[in-house]
Amino acid sequence: MPEQPRHSQHATTSLDARTVPLDPASTRTLADAGLTYRAVDTDGDDFVSYVQAVNRGFLGERSKPEAVEAWRETIGDRRPVGVFDGGSPEPHLPVATVNAWVDELTVDVDRLLPMWAVSAVTVSATHRRRGIARAMLEGELRAAADAGLPIAGLTVSEATIYGRYGFAPVATATSWTVKTHRAGWIGPRPGGRLDPIERELAQQDLAALHDVVRRGRPGEVAATPSYWRSTAGLTPGQTDGGKVRAVRYTDESGQVRGVLAYQLENRDDGAATLTVRALAADGPDAYAALWRFALEHDLVDTVRATERSADEPLRWLLADPRAAEVTERDHHWLRILDVARCLESRTYRAPGAVTFDVVDPLGFAAGRWTLTVAEGGAGVVTRDGAGDGEGAVVTLGVAELSALLLGGVRATTLRAAGRLATDAATAAWLDATFAPVAAPQLSLWY
Ligand SMILES: CC(C)(COP(=O)(O)OP(=O)(O)OC[C@H]1O[C@@H](n2cnc3c(N)ncnc32)[C@H](O)[C@@H]1OP(=O)(O)O)[C@@H](O)C(=O)NCCC(=O)NCCS
């Protein structure tokens, strides 16, 4: 495996996940249960069975052949894995699935970490609660750690599944329903221009703008061209693709600064709902222009948006903030594998030192780690008591340390919840030094 630079500002995504071997311990555990754990061949029918098993796992319908082929074309260097039961009447159908790849996680402005992204975790309802998901998840984490990945991440169907493996929610997503006739607009009216664009251009703009914006926002990850193809409604076989509309915002100097992809539904009561599929804005002017476009759209009385941030500026653009109903939910979950690399990958806001005593049943992060923050904000981590005496001790689990990493979860909150042990002054210092540049956000699903 290529050596990962310790202080990488730019994540190393050159690692091809398909070259990461399957974990031998999980292979043995599953073999002892009569099951075969193996990589899926993305060229042949094996991949068709895999895709249909993932659909089954998420309660979806079977994909049409063109949709399977679209997925196959974009699988890239991802590592789909299946679990197969030789005793089944159709042993080529996986009874469990998982997919993983190396993504880029923003931990601070322009500070990126390579991240083992885990997705498509399903176990057939016929084989549930026998430890198959545990074997796959622990296998993914061991494989990632052995390959030198410092952190793993996922988005989840249920918030009850992944804490046991050391994952914690680090970024909250908010969902918005705005009654436009009540909202009013008190935001700026920027001088650039808005233009309708077709879906192909929207796909390009979304990809380009996300790639800029994500680097400044803790919690964001890189997305593939196929993700934006689907957001723009252009994936073959996509049923809602024809509904997608888009507008682009260009600033006064001619630079493309924002794009909104959305769809409209005419309701039986005669009004319409505008649903935001993606809104990418590079700066406050683009942000205001695109939201104003959505909120002042003729015939529309309701605007909906999901995967917005916990500190969404939209609240401050509405004359009547109560026109918006906002709900929030855990969204991005992270799991530290390499404590030193993760903690050293970001900058801190207040000098000082602290020693973390980390409990990690899987071992990767377990032990005593001292973080020393210099004036200027660089953090250095020493292991096993080398920094003893420099800082107060914080005792916590790997999930709690993972929760702290991006700064969206405060140490004082975890202390008040009994999820970490330290004195009040140390928790307050942790709040100050881990403070994020902006609330961590993940604007997409993976
Ligand atoms: C979630 C899912 C993958 C679990 O698979 P599984 O093989 O039944 O899980 P395991 O038998 O390995 O269970 C491992 C542990 O997780 C717990 N668990 C499993 N599914 C759970 C769920 N949905 N909610 C809460 N706990 C769950 C088990 O009780 C067990 O706990 P323990 O070992 O700490 O006692 C499976 O139910 C599934 O495919 N669900 C539908 C698709 C889905 O939601 N996938 C997750 C995508 S993010």
At 2 the pLDDT is: 30
- Output the CATH code of domain 17-166: 3.40.630.30
- Ligand 1 atom, smallest distance to 96 CA: 39
How far apart are the CA of 57 and the centre of ligand 1, in A?
12
**Whether the predicted pLDDT of 164 surpasses 90:** yes
| pLDDT tops 80 at residue 161 | yes
Instruction: Say whether pLDDT at 394 is over 90.
Output: yes
What are the tokens at 414?
A: 């975890």
Q: Are 160 and 259 in contact (CB under 8 A)?
A: no
Q: Tell me the best of 161, 162, 330 to mutate to test the pocket of ligand 1, counting ligand atoms within 8 Å of each CB and taking the most.
A: 161
Statement: residue 414 has pLDDT above 60: yes
pLDDT at 5: 33
Share of the chain above pLDDT 90, in %: 93
Rounded percentage of the chain residues whose pLDDT exceeds 70: 96
- What is the average pLDDT across 110-120? 98
Whether 388 shows a pLDDT value over 90: the answer reads: no
Provide the pLDDT for residue 73. 87
Q: What are the structural domain ranges in the chain?
A: 17-166, 174-329, 339-433
192 φ, ψ to 5°? -75, -165
pLDDT at residue 74 in the model:
86
Q: Quick one: pLDDT at residue 28?
A: 98
Looking at residues 167-189, what average pLDDT do you find? 98
What average pLDDT score do residues 387-394 get? 74
The contacts of residue 3 (CB under 8 Å, 6+ apart) are 148
* Residue 133 counted as an annotated binding residue: yes
* Catalytic residue chosen out of the listed positions 37, 162, 165, 227: 162
Amino acid identity of residue 345, one-letter, is S
Calculate how far, in angstroms, residue 161's C-alpha sits from the geometric centre of ligand 1: 6
Annotated ligand binding at 121? The verdict is: yes
Maximum C-alpha span of the chain:
69
CA of 245 to the centre of ligand 1 (A): 38
In CATH terms, the fold of domain 339-433 is: Nonspecific Lipid-transfer Protein; Chain A (3.30.1050)
pLDDT at 7 over 60: no
Ligand 1 binding pocket (C-beta < 6 A) is 57-58, 121-123, 128-134, 156-158, 160-161, 164
In angstroms, the CA 426 to CA 434 distance is 12
pLDDT in tens, 213-257: 999 999 999 999 999 999 999 999 898 999 999 999 999 999 999
Strand, helix or coil at 332?
A: strand
Which residue CA neighbors atom 5 of ligand 1 most closely? 133
CA-closest residue to ligand 1 atom 34: 164
| 48 C-beta neighbours (distance < 10 Å), count | 18
**Side chain identity, residue 395:** T
Residue 131, annotated as binding a ligand: yes
Answer whether residue 8 shows pLDDT above 70. Answer: no
Question: Does the active-site annotation cover 50?
Answer: no
Q: Mind listing the pLDDT tens digit for each residue in 352-371?
A: 999 999 999 999 999 999 99
The question of whether 162 is a catalytic residue gets the answer yes
pLDDT-based confidence at 386, cuts 50/70/90?
Answer: low
Is the per-residue pLDDT at 1 higher than 50? no
* For range 272-285, the mean pLDDT: 98
137 CA: nearest ligand 1 atom: 12
Q: What ranges in 375-440 are assigned the alpha helix state H? A: 398-405, 411-416, 424-433
How confident is the model over 11-30, as pLDDT tens digits?
556 799 999 999 999 999 99
The region of weakest confidence among 140-154, 310-324, 385-399 is 385-399
Q: What's the first-to-final CA gap in the chain, in angstroms?
A: 25
Identify which of 29, 123, 157 to mutate to test ligand 1's pocket (most ligand atoms within 8 A of the CB). Answer: 123
The CATH number that domain 174-329 falls under is: 3.40.630.30
- Are the folds of 17-166 and 339-433 the same? no
